[in-house]
Structure 1
Amino acid sequence: MKLKNKTLVIIGGTSGIGLSAAKALAQEGAQLVLVGLDEDSCEQATSTLPDTIVLCADARREDTAKSAIRACIEKFGDFHGIYHVAGGSGRKFGDGPLHELTLDGWNETLHLNLTSLMLSNQAAIQAFQELGYGGSILNLGSILSFSPSPKYFVTHAYAAAKAAVEGLTVSTAAYYASQNIRINVLAPALVESPMSQRAMTNPEILKFSASKMPLDGGRVGKPSDLDQAAVFFLSDDSKFTTGQILHIDGGWHLTEGQYS
């Protein structure tokens, strides 16, 4: 098993992409601490993976990732990596096209998608420095950071936040490489998840996405499509890999997409 004796934290690990990754990591032998925001999803994760620690907390709080890492060390005696999945759409806060974007929409979207990630990455790096032998950080980005969809996915604060995730990842990967700390990004396109329900229930968007993501019959991505990449980046298989952005997008960034 690729993750035997590895102890890992997933921020946003109780639903969607995070929970799917948790199952895959556990199958590879990892011991896990999962953090989720919604109490129902936390209960589901507890029943699905009874050998894990599940914490219900807000990733935007400064102490959340620190508490999860501390729990990981106290329970399992070590800490080897963190996967930051937490984030989401800022539409309900006022995100949208720039001429309509509200200040609250901007602030809340960046807080949800970028500040929370900065806090988890910072907590992980501080823990790795204390432990003295490095580790792995994996961040969830988005294909929208550099390959926009100007008709159906117009949330400019979200795109800016995900672009900043890539910038933060690459710059910190360079800085901490000498400390044997690896930092990488998975950047998916449209994936079935709680965040994607608006698109998943819109036939017009689904028709567009089938042309935009032509791989495997033009289907929407599944959380499991990211699982083995997460295993790779959080295992010793990636011990010579840092500062990478892996697009798992069904061909999104290679095609134009067709409108009705």
Structure 2
Amino acid sequence: MSSWLWNWTPWINPPPPPTTLERARAHIRSYDPLKLVANVFAAGLVTSLGLGAYYKRFLKRIPTAGYVTPNMITGRRVIKGVVTRVGDADNFRIYHTTALHTAIPTTEQELRNQTIHVRLAGVDAPEGPHFGHEGQPGYEESMTGLTKLVLGRTVYCELLGKDRYGRIIAMAYLRDPRFIYLIRHRKCVSLKMLQLGLAVTYEGKDAKYGDYTKEEFMHHEKVALSKRLGIFKDGPLLETPAEYKRRCAKNGEVAGGEAGNDETLG
């Protein structure tokens, strides 16, 4: 008899491969329960912290300048808002908007204590009539120009500091500067005021110029002066806004525009 008959074994079908559910169960059973709980907890904590940070930066609304933290300023955070009021020729108020807060209040009562007072960085405009003294020549023209530029429009404010009145010093743009890499396309409000001859370069000790330089600002001011634009229609100013404020301070008067707190209307 052939030897292969003695070595023959009957065919046995191999066991079916484990199902996905069975593999998952086996994988879970291989874990240490305490380690599994710890990993789940850690993942949840990291997710919560990440969502919290995202909410604070992108979804939480900043009601007033008092809520702007030093970290926001040192990080030069950019916030988006709609201009609800132009208080003077170089400052305005914005209602901060986020993905969760897009509706803009329309009444004075709704806007009270809900706007951020912004001082345009790098520029100084003629002072208006305040506290019983006359405004400077060119104030109305500058005020009208800034109002046309920003009132009711969305602006992007790069936070650069706070002044002694508690206003936020910011470089304001009509386009989001975070996504426009060519500076000339950002539509900087301060530069526009200089180019139209509606302001001069601010040179105080707290001057901020953002991504620009003082020399760039002064160049645009000189060009406007050479073209006799805006407040330079009669030539160089007889008294700059800074000189005007120093004179008022020397006489015991208060100058500096709408240097109010956040209790004032939006």
TM-score (norm 2): 0.24
Higher helix fraction: Structure 1 or Structure 2? 1
| Structure possessing the higher radius of gyration over alpha carbons | 2
